[in-house]
Structure 1
Amino acid sequence: MRIITANTNGIRSAARKGFFTWLAEQNADVVCIQETKAQTEQLTDPVFHPEGYVAIFSDAVKKGYSGTAMYCRTPPKSVTTRLGWDPLDSEGRYIRADFDAVSVISMYMPSGSSGEAAQAKKDSFLDNIYPHFVELKAAGRELVICADWNICHREIDLKNWRANRKNSGFLPHERAWLDKLYNEAGFVDAFREINQEAIYTWWSNRGQAYANNVGWRLDYQVITPGLVPLIRDAWVYRDEKFSDHAPFIMDYDVSL
């Protein structure tokens, strides 16, 4: 099973940059997309409905903002896009597809970088989504949570960690939230199970951050422990630039 997660920073923009041409060659089973910035009725072009995939979209009420998508080679048994609270529902920040063997989630965590109100919104999201993940895990489902988490967990996860200790995305309480997700709730950072290297998935558009690889690892696949022995490979694709994020790909020895 190959799962790709990618924040496209506008799915139509990424399409113009060749994202779907690249995707057609990846043999992915599930593709999780964050920040579509589009309404479903704007995505009628066949490019947004790749052959062989079921397309699922969760739109924000506000046009041109947020939104998630998922492409599934195997039709899911059920799909969930609403959990009954905002901003998750009104901003289209969540899709869960349930298959026989596993459930896959595409999620877009709010950013808190624009100020105190944005950070408060992000903190509220963290408070609300945590018990949901705990509940799903307690139900016995194997889970792969693909997300732009908008949080770096450890110093190795961003190049300039010293300068960002007081900035959203690397705040102590955000990092502690991930500690709790891993150490108390029992979830696993799938990439870190097989690779301890410094890799990044997002680069600022300022200066030469991308060219100099001064980045942040914001895009993770977080899994339940039962999937850990089935991890086979993981990598970031940087040969082409579709967005300010790069696609993050993982292979698992499991069938949907």
Structure 2
Amino acid sequence: MTKIKLLSWNVNGVRAAIKKGALDALEAVNADIVCLQEIKAKDDQIPEGLMQWAGYKPYICSADRPGYSGVAVFTKTQPCSVAYGIGEERFDREGRTLVLEYPDFRLINCYFPNGGNGPERLKFKMDFYAAFKKFAEDSPKPLIICGDVNTAHREIDLA
């Protein structure tokens, strides 16, 4: 397998991040694949400089709800295929998962749900974990999983 340089970053709003100089930081890293989480934007809301980033092909998975979640992958190498989500509508409409298939591996960029807004949302989060685990276990290739899993080891780690 060839060496690749991969960057994963929860930008907490791609438009605000770009205004603060994120594109310069991303260009300085010169990664082969850049995975962003919590982009909070539809395709047409992503700054042109990022969408037209020289040498990269963008893949965007936005939430149905405006200004909410979403993930993006920018890659120098054309994937064999791209899937938007894990195949379960209730999770996929939140724009949480992008799956890029390459010859030697499968890349999953994921933004896991936060479970902090009451018991229903916690159940949603735990159901997502179970569905994601099954999806990952069914992979026919080695996996690279990156993203924000929204899990804290200790209370102090909670934002």
TM-score by length of 2: 0.91
Q: Secondary structure at the match of 1:129?
A: helix
Tell me which residue corresponds to 1:63. Answer: 66
Tell me which residue corresponds to 1:125. Answer: 128
Q: Match for 1:67: what amino acid?
A: G
Tell me which residue corresponds to 2:36. Answer: 33
Structure 1 residue 73 and structure 2 residue 85: aligned?
Answer: no
Using the alignment, how far apart are the partners of 1:87 and 1:18 within structure 2?
A: 34
Tell me which residue corresponds to 1:91. Answer: 94
Regions of 4+ moved over 2 Å: 46-49
8 Å contact kept, 2:112–2:149: yes
Using the alignment, how far apart are the partners of 1:22 and 1:106 within structure 2?
A: 20
Structure 1: runs of 5+ lacking an equivalent: 154-160, 166-201, 205-256
Tell me which residue corresponds to 2:50. Answer: 47
Residue 8 of structure 1: how far off its partner (Å): 0.7
Give the count of matched residue pairs: 156
Using the alignment, how far apart are the partners of 1:24 and 1:67 within structure 2?
A: 21
Using the alignment, how far apart are the partners of 1:127 and 1:67 within structure 2?
A: 20
Residue 48 of structure 1: how far off its partner (Å): 3.4
Q: Secondary structure at the match of 1:119?
A: helix
Using the alignment, how far apart are the partners of 1:142 and 1:133 within structure 2?
A: 10
What RMSD over aligned residues (CA atoms) do the two structures have, in Å?
1.8
Segment drifting more, 89-98 vs 44-53: 44-53
Structure 2: runs of 5+ lacking an equivalent: none
Match of 2:105 among 102, 105, 110: 102
Residue 147 of structure 1: how far off its partner (Å): 1.6
8 Å contact kept, 1:32–1:105: no
* Bigger Rg, structure 1 or 2: 1
Residue 82 of structure 1: how far off its partner (Å): 3.0
Q: Identical aligned pairs, as a percentage?
A: 31
